[in-house]
Every structure is written in structure tokens, then in C-alpha cells.
Structure 1
Amino acid sequence: MPLEKQKNLEKIEPREITEELQESYLDYAMSVIVSRALPDVRDGLKPVQRRILWAMWDMGLGAGAKFMKSARVTGETMGKYHPHGDMAVYDALVRMAQDFSLRYPLIKGQGNFGSVDGDSAAAQRYTECRLSKIAEELLLDIEKETVNWTPNYDGSRLEPKCLPAKLPNLLINGAVGIAVGMATSIPPHNLGEVINALIYLVDNPKAETEDLMKFIPGPDFPTGGIIYDKTSLNEAYKTGHGSITMRAVAEIQERKSGSFQIIVSEIPYQVNKSDLVTNVAQLVQEKKIEGIRDLRDESDREGLRIVVELKNDAVPQKILNQLFKYTELQKNFYFNLLALNEGIQPKVFSLKELLAAYLNHRQKVIRRRTEFDLKKTEERAHILTGLVKALSVIDKIISTIKKSKDKEAAHAALMKNFHLSFLQAEAILEMKLQTLAALEGQKLEDELKEKKKLINELQLILKEPKIILKIIKEELSELAKNFPSPRRTKMVASGLKEFKEEDLISQEETIVTLSQTGYIKRMPPAAFHSQKRGGKGTIGFELKEEDFISHFISAQTHDDILFFTDRGKVFQTKVYEIPAASRTAKGKAVQNFLEITPAEKISALVTYAKLAGKEHETIQKGLPESIYVVMVTKNGLIKKTTLSDFENIRHTGIIALNLNKDDFLKNVSLSSGSNEVIITTAHGQAIRFKEKEIRTMGRTASGVRAIRLKKDDFVSGFDIIRKTRIKTDYMQNYAEKSPRQSASSPRGSALLVVMANGFAKQTPLNQYKVQKRGGSGIKTAKITAKTGLIIASHIVDEKDEEILAFSSKGQVLKTKLGEVRTAGRATSGVRIMKLKQGDKIAGIMIL
């Protein structure tokens, strides 16, 4: 091995790699935290920003100077203070010049410095810059030893550790940065509001966050917009953590043609306008948002303007809600008030702590500035004292100087003979002959008096901290006067509710269908047209040969829908979550959104909208104890449970009732608890009794006997007779005593009975007397081979207009209820629907 290589190997120090990685990573992390990503709480600047501003100040690029090429500033900063890539320096410079990034830009740019559309700035060789007027306030008094200095990266010169910062830059311009293991996110605020809060805090050191928020209601973003939720803001300002919701300013305008358009004039902070417009267009193309006809970006030098043209049939507020939901027209801003305390320690500040830290910094700056001014004033007063003394004995002074061999001898003689200091003697020797004039001598005496007066004032400032606070208040008031800026961001005290699907989906009537094998869909009622009684119906569904429609229910899209299985479990979803499909479509398997086992089948669908009268309004406020779920089984058991027991249903479902192995849940309805119940059986029996005979039970109970069934008979129909219908029933009973009453035209409430082979009839309710629960009931229909067994029964009254009947093979008939004849209990009814061979009526729905 060569000797030189061997010597190099001997210099290598063995070390555990874990120790090396740990120490190196910590060094890197601290470098990023302290020297790159986080702002100083005192001046609100990151190191690269501070170095750029100081370099420009040192170059004489003040607000009144000529513009200079950005490349020159970048090179000066990089070469003297910031030994990193030129693009890193230029990007920081560009951001400080953008009025959509900073509430109060610190650099005045000339040329293309980017746009809110995300356009990049022009190359640094093309753009020019200088400090803005407000940036000068950050650097003012820096030459008066007001801040500490540190050597630059190569020790060739000094740079400031922080700036004097006459204005509270951290709060008015905010900061965003990602360090190692931590990040900062501080929103910008209004200068006038922050100044008012600072002045209040000076006068009231024990002020709380709520007090300060009277002056600083919230952030003030350069792009405007709207902020919601004062409560969240309060929490964020108290703890240093939190989030707020920002929204664009959007207005719905009606055009002369009658159509509507949405005009967006302000967007949330840090949102790329071009990407926003592209995102909206993509959502329209994907049909996630429907109803938009045209989209234009009409922004110009006058301001931002995005126009969303709507179709004639679109609901403007719904479209706007969808835009807020799916695009960055609504966005959250996350607070993390993290900054470097004294330029070293990362700390999460509260609003009060941020303000207090700034005030503490300004007190130190003013004290150091005062000490500097006092030192310079005392030095000048000392010189003036010597000059005045010399003028009083000017002839002797001149004689002494003449007799001296040289300057050094004259200097020593003056100090010895006239008891002058080194500096005083130096000043006398440098004094011009014109100073010997009497008028000039008086000027020196006047200046000396002024200096002595100033010394007393400066000493008083250093002696009394209250005077320093007074100076801070005066300087802040002057800033507010010199840089007035109305608030751009509007504040709304109330919070925004989280968007629900209901906010984005119009409330409309719909029909939900479920097939025997579990295919479900929803469609508008207009999909079916009315026909005369006895018609064949239309094709309502494309089903497999062995499948048929088992459930058919009307609901509103915003309603909750409960799915009860034949084994007594219940599931819950929203009607709008059921896939919409055409009249002839098969739909989707219910297992796609309900965790139903293959052994279970849906036996009943219930929506809250099925409640009669005002009961529906009551239920929408919650799930009160006065609303009940009434369940009937195939073997004739009945059970009543409060609806509130079904308020929180797991996605896996919960038990609605316990059943014997040979029994199945047949039907379910909602009731107030004070109505009546009517149950029909497949072989033509019916029983009517008061709901109060059913005691309220828990979810796991099995129920009580509702009707005693004959062999081979089973429950086929069940409905609730509401209070209003009960009264109508009594009125009908009275009216039938009149000879003018026609048996063929129903008055009041009736029981509609439908049989499997397409037959149906209406029988007045007064023909069903109220019995005790648990009896065998009375005959309700004459069942023959021609009619088939009873498959359903429903309470109808004069307000019901149409009946929708559907067959097991997908035929649907929509006909006027008046087409169904009114007949007695012991009759078979009339044919309402012609069925193909082997087809049966599967169910009906009243519209």
C-alpha cells in the first residue's frame, strides 16, 4: 500500500453509524429550523428574507432609489450573506414583491413578478426591484446599534441577527414554512387592527385574547374572501393551533334572459386561480356538477372576475354549494403560530404572546437607540464644551498653538494648559477660523444648551420604562397614519356547517323499488303515466326471469329510509344514497351499501316521510319518544318500539325484534301511538284494534298476538289508521244513513285490498268494527282461484289520487284511485290490471 494512502487511512476515526446519523441529522434539522424555514418572532423574517432586505438597504436601494436589476440584488445577497442557489434567493425576493402573497409587499418590483394564476416570474435578468416604503420601516435605526450582529458565512463582514422592525411584520404579512419535524403557518393581518391591539396591550398588559380580538377580529388576506367561525378563531389565537374556513366572494345574478350566473370576485388565500377554473371545468366534464353551461375567466387589471353561466333549469344556490364543496372556492387555513423566540428557540405563540414578543423587542430597540443617541449627544456636548471654553480664551489658545513646534505639541499644550480632553483639543485644532466670529460662537453656545436639554430627555427615557412604551405607541400611531389600509377580508361570526349531501342534492319526490333478489334503485314518479283500470301497464323494470319486484315506496330524496329484514334486523341510509336509474334499469344490489347477509331479505321499507300530517315535521327535529315503529310478523305478532331506539344504527345493522325460527317480519309502519291498527290476512280476514292495546317494548322483544290465524293463513297486509282518518270514518258512518249516499262513490276513509291475480276493491272503514287485539277478525274479501290471495292492503281516503301497482315480472300500472270500485267486505272486487300467464301482482303504492 502506498505510504500516502496509508497515512490517510490512519486519519479515519472509527465511529458507530447510529451515532453519526443521529448527530448529523440533528445538525441538519437545527440548521433548517434556525437558519432557513422559520421566521423570527421579532421581525417576522426568515434568514433569506432578512439578508435580501439588508443587502438592498446596504446597496442604497431605498424606496426613493432607482430600480436595479434583480440579478444584481440576488448576486449581492448570495455572495455576501446567503451561500445557496441563486433561484432560492430570487424566489424569496419575488414572493416579497407579490401583492397576492404578502398583505404588505416589502419589495417594489418592476416587470413580471408572477400572478395569482401561478405564472412564474420573469428571469432575474429582466426584472428590477427596490425596497418598498413599508420595508424601510423594518430597517430604520439599524445603524444605531439597535440590534445584534453576527459574522457572515465566511467571516468577511457582519449581518444583522434581526431587524429593528418598527412595524409588526410577522402578524401583518404572516409566514408559511416547513422545517424538520415542525411547520409554521401564520396568516396575514391588517396593519391598522394590529396597531390598535398593540396600543391596547400596552395600556392593558393583562388583556385576554377576547379583548385583543375586539381589535383583531381575524386574518386579513391580500386576496380578500370571507372568513367564518369566530369560535374557531378564538381557539386558534388562544392556543396557537386551529383552523378557519375561507370562502370566495361569489354572487348569484339573474340575467335579462331569466337564467342565472355566479360571479366570483375574490378567492381564498393561496388559491391558484387558473387551477381553480380548470378544476371547475373538469367537474362539469365528469358530470359531478351539473347545470353549468359556460365558464369564463374575465379577470383583468381592474380585478378578479370568474363567471359561471348556469343552465335555465339549474338551481343557483345548489350549484354554488357544490362549487364550495368540491373546489377551492372554500378552503381551510390551518393556524400554527410557530416562530423562533429570540432567533433561537422554536415556540408556538398565542396571539397575545406574539404581540407581547414584538413589544418586548421594540422596547429593547428603543432603549438601545436611546443609549446610542445619548452617547453621541454626550460626545457632541463634550466637544461643544471645549469649543465654547476655547472661544472664551481664544487669544491664549492661538498664542499657545503658535508657540508649539508641531500639531502633536500643540495638542499636548492645549490639554495641559487649559485642562481639555484629548477630543476637545483635537476639535479645537480642527476648528475653522470662521468659528472665531462672534455669531458663530453664539451658535455653539445655543447648540450646547440644546444638547444638554436632549441629554436630560434621553436619560429620562432610559430611567422611565413608561416613556419607552409611550414612544412605542406614538410610533405605531404614526405608522397607522402613514400606511392606511382598509380590511379586505370579510368576517362572519357564525361557523359554517359541514357540507352534507343534502346541501348538494335537491329535495324532490322519488320512487324506491327493491326486487326479490335485492336489486334497488330510485326514479321519478313521472316515469309512469296514468292508465285506465284493467290496462296492461308499462315495462317498469328489466329483471331476471326468476326475479320480481317486492317493494315499492314513495319518499323524498332527503328522507332517511329504514330497511327491515325478514329476520328482524334494521339498517338505515339516506334515500339519495340509493342509486338513481331509469324506469327500465335493473338497479344495483342492495349489498353494495348495506351489510345484509345472503340468508336475509328485506321485508319492509320505511321512510320518515310516511308519517301523516304534522307528525313528519316533528320527527325531522330528532327522533322523539312520541313516534313509534310498529312491526307485524307473518304469524300474526305485533310489536311497538319508540323510534328513538333506532336513532344510531350501525352500518352492520341492529336488532329490531326477535323472531321464532318459523316466523318472519312482514311489515312495518310509523305511528304516533294513539292511532288504530288494521291487519289483513292472505285468505281474507281482517282485524281492527286500538294501538294503545300494544304496550311499548324494547328492540329485542318479540311482540304480542295481533290476530289469531287459521291453518295455512298468514298476514299479508297491515296499515295504521291515523286520527284524521278515524274521524272521517265516523263522519262517513253518519252520512251513510242518508238515502242520497251512493254505494259506488266512496266518502271518507276506506281499506284498499289488492289480490294477486290483479283484482282490487275499496271497502269503507266503517264496515270494520274496532275489536280487541288477538281475535280472529272478520271477513274482508271473497277469495277465489280467480282473484288469488290478498297480497296487500292500504288505508286510502279522498285526498289519495292514484294507485301504482307492480307485478312480479316488472309490469307497472298507474291508475286513478277512483277507478277502483267501492264494494262491501264479502266481495271480490274488480280487475285493475291484466297480467300475463304466470305473473302476479307483487305490491302497490298509493300516490
Structure 2
Amino acid sequence: EVANAIIHLIDNPEATVDDLLEYIQGPDFPTGGIIYGKDSLRTAYATGRGGVVVRGVASVEERSKKGTHRIVISEVPYGINKATLLEKIADLVKDKKIVGISDLRDESARGVVRVVVDLKKDAFPKKILNQLYKLTSLQTAFHFNMLALVDGIQPRVLGLTDILSEYVKHRQVVVRRRTEYELSKAEARAHILEGLSIALDHIDEVITIIRGSETTEEAQANLIKRFKLSEIQAKAILAMQLRALAGLERKKIEDELAELKKLIAELKKILGDESLILAIIKDEVVALRDKYGDERRTKVITHELGKFSDEELIPDEQVVVTLTSANYIKRSPEAEYKKQGRGGKGRRGMTTREEDIIEHVVVTSTHDFLLFFTNKGRVFRLKAYEIPATGLNAKGVAIVNLLQLQPEEKVSSVIRVGREQQDGYLFMCTVRGVVKKTAFEQYKNVRNSGLIAINLDNGDELKWIRQSTGDNEIIISTSHGQAMRFHEKGVRPMGRVSRGVRGIRLRPNDYVIGMDIVRADSSIFVISEQGYGKRTKVAQFTAHTRGGVGIRSAVVNAKTGKLIGVATLTEECNEVIIISSQGQTIRLGLKNIPELGRATQGVRIMRLNSGDKVVSMTLVADSQKDDEESVDNKE
């Protein structure tokens, strides 16, 4: 970074601090860490004085002991002693200033920092990590004082532009002096070679003069007088033995002299042109950069602490968020849910208790909001990255650590909200078929304690929510295979605390298993408890006024089990992730699932173990080339 900034300054002498900061991010400490506040950095580089906050790097990991986590510190601020840091943490735990830590140890190896802070089962990792930053040297301040001796005499505080300019000036002096020295050396050698060349032209006479002289001084004087040589040239000739002098090769001397004359011309050209000196400095800086440059160890975050967004620390990537019936939540990389062929048994997607099942699967970005609607009609909001990241087979963390749920309250629906989402509506449906439409803007500011999303009748529960434009068609499906298609214009917008209106009239013992937004030219996908599924054109479902009993969407019998889910197919979502009560998952392409009529049971698309059943499914975007097995439509 510094090398590139120097090169830019040489090419652009009027460059400003802001120009140079396009290349230099900030200090790069050998121990890594994270610097916060580019505004503070700019002030320091502009004036030569200032300060920045540096944090060590820590992450939250799941422990092998179910339901517990650990904080792992992998980088500490520069100059911080690990032993002192551990002592401070231990004192804070002893004094009960930090509660929730069960163990503390240093697992660092040679060249690798690893300080492990084990947490108790009910501890909130993010809260404890923030306490460590606040109360220990895991977060510290570094101060700038860019004091230098200018010209080796005058002490001055220099900004970034000045200090790099002084460096370039120093290199100009060094290159000039070095070039002058090399020129002097080359000229001296050329002078001697010219004398040797004269001696070669008159070798016999030179030998005669040397032999005829009684002393070296006499021989030197005679050579100078006879051949108009300098004292240096004469001494060089006399310094050679006669045998060596006689054996001099004219071609060798001529070639060396020619090379020296060429070098002398180049050196004089450099000394006469300042731009050539600067070009040499640039070449040498590039050579240093290419030889010694390495990856930056210290990350620089734009915002100041207290103003910054955690998102800058979190990669923006696709993840799968899962939530179980026992209210354990986790997020895992979407890539871990590998696509398989129809009829496969899938792979284990979560370690669950025997009575625990996976109920919700949401594919989202780590930077998106998630709205959590509960069975009691309340709504909470989290960023996806606030949910602890775990492996595919991990159990996850109890959601009560993230949301302030009441007794007997559980999350019944999770929807993704894009970062720029502002307009439109949230369309919701209850188990008893009540629907409601509310403007999205009423859910923009959700407090930590939650908001009321709908006023429920006794015994009813809120289950499904979709984002709508206000001009969509809705389909509601029931466990007995009935479906109602209607236009949402038949449902007027209502406030958050209103009850809603009837969306579908239910028959005895029936209940709603899904609600979604559809287009007339689209298809829906339904799946049953025993793994039977199909695609059906929405056009086969005649639109009616809301509130009726609907029409048949699938044949439901003992073989298929009740329907458990319905979703609308889109061009973007070409695959489905299906999860069973025993934690099995399967991901497969939808284009190979048959498109059948309403009054059919579908085909088997997931084989289940004895006693297992399908409990959840979600549509996802195709992440790789379709390579599933072909489907037999006769199944």
C-alpha cells in the first residue's frame, strides 16, 4: 500500500491526503486486529496527530456440549500481552462484572493465537463479547504522533503527504549520490583503459622505456613524456608485469572501454534529468513491493465504534436459517445443503432430540432482516448474521436468547425482508383461515420486546406471512386437500392490531397448512407427510371470492398422509429443500417433479424411515447445473 502511494505521489506531486488514502488503508499491525474509524485515520494522516480504536478478532463457536458456545480470540491488539488479558478477564469474572463465563484458557501454539472463553448454557455470546471489548484490552486505542527529523536536524510533525514527500526527496539524494559515485568509478576505469590502449599501440617501445629506466619514477616520467599519459595511466601500466603487459588483448580492452563509455553516457543522462532519477526510485520501490509485500493483516472498518454497522465484519453470503419446534435456531451456509435426486433419503441436517422437529427453513443473505412472527400474533426482527452460525449437523441456539418470547409463545413464521424493502404489504393467514393485509411500513421499527402483528381469536394462531404488492392473487391450502384462490384486493388494508377477515371456510377437523402468492401462469408445489408431492398449474384453481370452502388441490389418503405445505414456483427458485421430523434433508430440482392435475396424489419425492414424516419445505434458487435423475410420471 505504501509503495503504491509513493508511486502515485511521484507521478502526481500535487496529490492530496485523500488521494494517497486511496492506496493506504491505515496501519498494518503484525498481530492483525481491526481498526475502526476512517475519519479518525484521515485526520491523523492529514495532521500527523490523532488516534484510532483497535479491536482484537474474536468469533463465537458452538461447543460439543449441546446448547453451549465459546468465544475464541484469534488476534489481539498490537502490544497487548495475552497473559495480562487472561488475568483481566478472570478478575472480571471473579468480581461478577462479567457473568456467563464457565472457563478460560490459552490454547495458543507457535505463531497462532487462540484464547478460548467457554460460556455457560444460558449465556448470550454477543453480550459477553461486547463486555470483553468494553472492559479489557481486547479493545484499545492507538495514538498517532508522526514526529520526524527533517534533514536530520529539525523535528517536525508531518502529515502523510509530507512524510512521503520527504522520503522521495531522501531517495533522490541517495540515487544521485550513488549515480555520481558509479560515474566517477566508470570514468576512472575508462581513463586507465585508454592508457592501456595507448600502451598496446606501442607495446615494444613501452617495454624498451621501462627496461631502460633505472627507477620506477624515471620509467613513469619517461612514459608520461613520450605518450602524453596521465600519472594514473602511467602508474597503471607500470603496475603490470611485463609479461602481463605484453599479453594484453586489444579486443578485450576495446570492448570493456566501449561498455564503459556507454555506461558513462547513461549515468550523465540520469544526473542531468530529474525525471530519470524519479523513474529509478519508482522501479526500486516496485522491486521492494514485489519482493516483500504481503497480505494486510489488520482490517480497517469505515465507521467509528458506536456508529459502525456489524455488517462490515460479516461476509454477505447466502445462508439457510432453520428453526425447530423446540425453538432452536441456527444458520448454515446454503452450499452445505447439497442437491440430490428425487426419491433419495437425503442427509442429516440437524441434530435434534427425538421429540424435536425442524419447522422453518429460510434462505436469505446474512445482511438481510428476518421478521419472526409468533403464534400469538407478535413480530420480532433480527439481522440474519445475529443468528449464531453453526455447521449443518449442529443443534443451534435457543431462540429465547435472541427474542423476548412469552411463556407458550413460539415462532410460527419467518420471512426474509430485503435491505431496501420499503413499499408494499404483509399479507398474513391464521390456522383458522383468517387473513389480513397490513402496510409494510408499520413493521419498519420493531422494538426488542416485539410488536403486535394481528389480534387473534381465542384458540387461533398466526402461521403464514407473505410480502405483497397489493395487487396479487392468494392461494390458501388445507391439510385435507382443499384450496381457495382469490385476489387480495378483496382484503382491505388494516392496522397492526386489527383482527382480519375470513379467507377460507374450513370443514370439520380441517386446518390451513399454507398460504402463498400466485400468478395465473405459475404453478404451485404441494407435499404431504409421507413425501408425496407434485406441481399443479394455478390456472386449474378457479378464482373465487374469499371466504368460500375452495376446491380440491390434491388427493389425500392414508398412503400420502395429510398435506403439510404449499409454495408458488418462480423462475428464480428452481429447487426445494425438504426436511423430515427426524432431521433428514434433501435438496432437488423442481423441473423433474411431474406437473399433475388437482385431483391427484402426486409422486414420491422423498423416501422416509419408519415413523418419520415430512414437516417442512422451502423453495430455493438453483445453485448448480441440474443433474437429477429423470422422473417416471407413472409413479
Q: TM-score, normalised by structure 2?
A: 0.54
- Say if 2:282 is the partner of 1:488: no
Identify the structure with the greater helix proportion. 1
Shift of 1:564: 0.7
Shift of 1:269: 3.7
Shift of 1:595: 0.7
The whole-number CA distance in structure 2 between the counterparts of 1:519 and 1:750 is 32
Partner of residue 552, structure 1: 361
- Where structure 2 has 5 or more consecutive residues not aligned to the other structure, the ranges are 1-16, 18-23, 27-36, 62-69, 81-110, 113-129, 145-152, 163-301, 621-635
Partner of residue 443, structure 2: 646
Partner of residue 92, structure 2: none
The whole-number CA distance in structure 2 between the counterparts of 1:495 and 1:552 is 33
What SS is found at the alignment partner of 2:573?
coil
Matching residue within 326, 332, 356 for 1:523: 332
RMSD: 4.2
Identify the structure with the greater strand proportion. 2
Shift of 1:225: 10
- Quick one: which amino acid aligns to residue 246 of structure 1? S
The whole-number CA distance in structure 1 between the counterparts of 2:396 and 2:580 is 17
Partner of residue 514, structure 2: 717
Q: How does 1:362-761 map to 2 (within 5 A)?
A: 488=159, 498-609=307-418, 618-619=420-421, 624=422, 626-721=423-518, 725-726=519-520, 729=521, 749-761=522-534
- Say if 2:436 is the partner of 1:765: no
The whole-number CA distance in structure 2 between the counterparts of 1:267 and 1:517 is 57
The whole-number CA distance in structure 2 between the counterparts of 1:573 and 1:698 is 22
What SS is found at the alignment partner of 1:247?
helix
- Quick one: which amino acid aligns to residue 777 of structure 1? G
Q: Does the 8 Å CA contact 1:248/1:330 hold for their aligned counterparts?
A: no
- Where structure 1 has 5 or more consecutive residues not aligned to the other structure, the ranges are 1-216, 218-223, 227-242, 251-263, 298-308, 311-321, 334-481, 610-616, 730-748
Matching residue within 594, 599, 606 for 1:826: 599
- Quick one: which amino acid aligns to residue 595 of structure 2? T
Q: Does the 8 Å CA contact 1:628/1:642 hold for their aligned counterparts?
A: yes
Partner of residue 790, structure 1: 563
Shift of 1:763: 0.3
- Quick one: which amino acid aligns to residue 811 of structure 1? Q
Quickly say closer, same or farther: Cα 1:271–1:717, change in 2 above 3 A: closer
Shift of 1:284: 13
Q: Does the 8 Å CA contact 2:46/2:159 hold for their aligned counterparts?
A: no
Shift of 1:799: 3.9
> 1:315-363 CA distances to partner (integer Å, 9 max, x unpaired)?
xxxxxxx9x9997797799xxxxxxxxxxxxxxxxxxxxxxxxxxxxxx
What SS is found at the alignment partner of 1:526?
helix
Quickly say closer, same or farther: Cα 1:329–1:640, change in 2 above 3 A: same
Q: How does 1:123-142 map to 2 (within 5 A)?
A: none
- Quick one: which amino acid aligns to residue 350 of structure 2? F
Partner of residue 299, structure 2: none
Shift of 1:247: 2.2
Shift of 1:574: 0.9
Q: Does the 8 Å CA contact 1:761/1:820 hold for their aligned counterparts?
A: yes
> 1:484-531 CA distances to partner (integer Å, 9 max, x unpaired)?
96852689xx98692111111111000000000100000011212222
Partner of residue 804, structure 1: 577
The whole-number CA distance in structure 1 between the counterparts of 2:48 and 2:366 is 32
Q: Does the 8 Å CA contact 1:579/1:588 hold for their aligned counterparts?
A: yes
- Quick one: which amino acid aligns to residue 821 of structure 1? P
Q: Does the 8 Å CA contact 2:527/2:533 hold for their aligned counterparts?
A: yes
The whole-number CA distance in structure 2 between the counterparts of 1:517 and 1:795 is 27
The whole-number CA distance in structure 2 between the counterparts of 1:518 and 1:636 is 24
- Quick one: which amino acid aligns to residue 360 of structure 2? H
- CA radius of gyration, larger in: 1
- Quick one: which amino acid aligns to residue 845 of structure 1? T
- Say if 2:44 is the partner of 1:247: no
Quickly say closer, same or farther: Cα 1:638–1:329, change in 2 above 3 A: same
The whole-number CA distance in structure 1 between the counterparts of 2:485 and 2:59 is 55
The whole-number CA distance in structure 1 between the counterparts of 2:360 and 2:536 is 24
Identity of aligned residues (%): 38
> 1:710-735 CA distances to partner (integer Å, 9 max, x unpaired)?
111111011112xxx44xx1xxxxxx
- Quick one: which amino acid aligns to residue 679 of structure 1? I
Partner of residue 138, structure 1: none
- Quick one: which amino acid aligns to residue 462 of structure 2? L
Q: Does the 8 Å CA contact 2:58/2:73 hold for their aligned counterparts?
A: no
The whole-number CA distance in structure 2 between the counterparts of 1:534 and 1:528 is 16
Q: Does the 8 Å CA contact 1:756/1:789 hold for their aligned counterparts?
A: yes
What SS is found at the alignment partner of 1:819?
coil
Quickly say closer, same or farther: Cα 1:287–1:689, change in 2 above 3 A: same
Give the count of matched residue pairs. 382
Shift of 1:543: 0.6
> 1:374-426 CA distances to partner (integer Å, 9 max, x unpaired)?
xxxxxxxxxxxxxxxxxxxxxxxxxxxxxxxxxxxxxxxxxxxxxxxxxxxxx
Quickly say closer, same or farther: Cα 1:547–1:269, change in 2 above 3 A: same
Quickly say closer, same or farther: Cα 1:841–1:225, change in 2 above 3 A: closer
The whole-number CA distance in structure 1 between the counterparts of 2:537 and 2:59 is 55
The whole-number CA distance in structure 2 between the counterparts of 1:761 and 1:596 is 36
Quickly say closer, same or farther: Cα 1:774–1:267, change in 2 above 3 A: farther
What SS is found at the alignment partner of 1:246?
helix
Quickly say closer, same or farther: Cα 1:844–1:225, change in 2 above 3 A: closer
Shift of 1:802: 1.3
- Quick one: which amino acid aligns to residue 330 of structure 2? K
Shift of 1:800: 2.6
- Say if 2:590 is the partner of 1:781: no
Quickly say closer, same or farther: Cα 1:483–1:584, change in 2 above 3 A: closer
Q: Does the 8 Å CA contact 1:564/1:602 hold for their aligned counterparts?
A: yes
Shift of 1:635: 0.6
Q: TM-score, normalised by structure 1?
A: 0.41
The whole-number CA distance in structure 1 between the counterparts of 2:571 and 2:47 is 55
Quickly say closer, same or farther: Cα 1:673–1:488, change in 2 above 3 A: same
Shift of 1:801: 2.2
What SS is found at the alignment partner of 2:591?
helix
Q: Does the 8 Å CA contact 1:805/1:843 hold for their aligned counterparts?
A: yes
- Quick one: which amino acid aligns to residue 575 of structure 2? E
- Quick one: which amino acid aligns to residue 689 of structure 1? F
The whole-number CA distance in structure 2 between the counterparts of 1:648 and 1:771 is 35
The whole-number CA distance in structure 2 between the counterparts of 1:640 and 1:577 is 28
The whole-number CA distance in structure 2 between the counterparts of 1:836 and 1:779 is 29
